[in-house]
Structure 1
Amino acid sequence: MSDITYGKVATFDTRPATSIPMESPLSVAYHRGSAPMPAQDSQVVLEEKPFLGHLILRGGAIVLDEAVRDVLGISLPGQPLGLALDASGERSVQWLSPDEWLVIVPGGEEFELENRLREKLGDAHFAILNGSGGQTLIELTGDKALELLMKSVTYDVHPSNFPVGKAVSVQFAKASAILRHPSEDRFELVLRRSFADYCYRWLLDAGEEYGIGVTR
């Protein structure tokens, strides 16, 4: 780990050294054999995207937008509940509230990104929280992914109400989650680490009729 001080703020890299093995939030479920392989007739495929970088930004939209565009190459979403991705689809910025955004980047980029943003923002009024270790992302694809979500969340996920480029905080079964629609054939769930195993097992049960498979 390393640390850098910006004024009165000390930052440090929370990602452990590569010599230290990391286990995803779903590792226990995997080790117990609850990971059916995708089959030819699987209509839903689930894949966890663990160890990504999750940063929560708070502050004025105008100031943050300029910094994020310069450092990450993505503008803040222009509308509430908006989701913006870069050309590769690996980096995203999501609207959480009028002064709060979630940035997700490939694992290992988050500490450098945080430092570059702090340097760019200087004396502006803002806050950056690295929540990478407390969250994970589950991706759902397949012809019946939307129907599976209809069984699992209270939010109206019909395409007329939940188009591509939208992201919302939802109640998932008896847990809370962030539901995202980054592309036509893909949905994402951003989950707290402590809810991940429960939500995963719910998805396996609710997706059984669709032959759900798990890509690891």
Structure 2
Amino acid sequence: MSEPVLPLAGASFDGLVEVREIGPQGMITLRGDLALPQVIAGVTDLTGLEMPDVRAANTAGDTGLLWMSPDELLVLVPYRQALAAVDRLNAALSGLHVLVVNVSDMRALFQLRGTQLRDVLAKLAPVDFAPEALPVGELRRTRFAQVAAGVWLLDDTSARVFCFRSVAGYMFNLLSTVSDPDSNVGFHVT
């Protein structure tokens, strides 16, 4: 097996928040009836995590279950385990009308860290990033400028953002631009 190559070779920027490309990350799209006990058992047995509620991201390190839509989960596993995880899920869900696809190499993943996190994110998306509107652990699918993206907060000062690999450079530039210290809007209360 060849070594995985990150789209931006681990690019980083330090400003109002630290922006860093991370990965590689194993990602599996699962489409189907998420309420079926066999589906719930398959993904929870695989990851050791609880099935997420609507718009939730249950994660632990590089493992997770992200609620993407009423019939779609994004399953996070260590990159090297993604192919085996697809096989394991297909076996566990045999006979069900589901789709299980390894999408690890089609996405880019960024980590953002810093006390200005919510202000920085709010500059890019039509989302209310106030703590009561977007609590830690809630996933949002949205657009950052012209790019489809997903974002969830790991805690009050760190978040993960994912997008398609083909627009990783554009996304990194967006995140870096809105993190520039000269672009501080001053809404964050410390």
| Same fold, TM-score > 0.5, yes or no | yes
- In the alignment, which residue of structure 2 is the partner of 1:85? 59
- In the alignment, which residue of structure 1 is the partner of 2:186? none
With the length of structure 2 as denominator, give the TM-score of the two structures: 0.87
Paired residues of 2:114 and 2:157 also in contact (CA < 8 A): yes
Structure 1 distance, partners of 2:156, 2:102, is 29
Q: What letter corresponds to residue 75 of structure 2 in structure 1?
A: V
Secondary structure of 1:129's partner?
strand
2:155 aligned with 1:180: no
* Pair member with larger Rg: 1
Paired residues of 2:110 and 2:160 also in contact (CA < 8 A): yes
User: Residues 88-167 of structure 1 correspond to what in structure 2 (within 5 A)?
Assistant: 89-167=61-139
2:49 aligned with 1:49: no
String of CA shifts for 1:142-185, please: whole Å, max 9, x gaps.
11121111111111111110001100111101111011112232
Q: What letter corresponds to residue 142 of structure 2 in structure 1?
A: V
Q: What letter corresponds to residue 24 of structure 2 in structure 1?
A: F
Paired residues of 2:24 and 2:79 also in contact (CA < 8 A): yes
Structure 2 distance, partners of 1:143, 1:121, is 42
- In the alignment, which residue of structure 2 is the partner of 1:67? 42
Closer, same or farther: CA 171–181 of 1 in aligned 2, 3 Å:
same
RMSD: 2.1
What number of residue pairs does the alignment pair up? 182
Structure 1 distance, partners of 2:33, 2:166, is 31
Structure 2 distance, partners of 1:125, 1:99, is 11
String of CA shifts for 1:115-138, please: whole Å, max 9, x gaps.
111111221221101111110110
Structure 1 distance, partners of 2:23, 2:121, is 21
Structure 2 distance, partners of 1:156, 1:96, is 18
2:10 aligned with 1:24: no
Secondary structure of 1:56's partner?
strand
Structure 2 distance, partners of 1:206, 1:85, is 26
Structure 1 residue aligned with 2:165, among 185, 193, 197? 193
Structure 1 distance, partners of 2:165, 2:132, is 31
Q: What letter corresponds to residue 32 of structure 2 in structure 1?
A: G
Paired residues of 1:25 and 1:50 also in contact (CA < 8 A): no
Unpaired segments of 5 or more residues in structure 2?
184-190
Unpaired segments of 5 or more residues in structure 1?
1-16, 212-216
- In the alignment, which residue of structure 2 is the partner of 1:206? 178
Closer, same or farther: CA 186–71 of 1 in aligned 2, 3 Å:
same
Structure 1 distance, partners of 2:159, 2:101, is 25
Identity %: 25
State the Cα distance separating 1:69 from its structure 2 match: 1.6
- In the alignment, which residue of structure 2 is the partner of 1:13? none
Paired residues of 2:25 and 2:62 also in contact (CA < 8 A): no
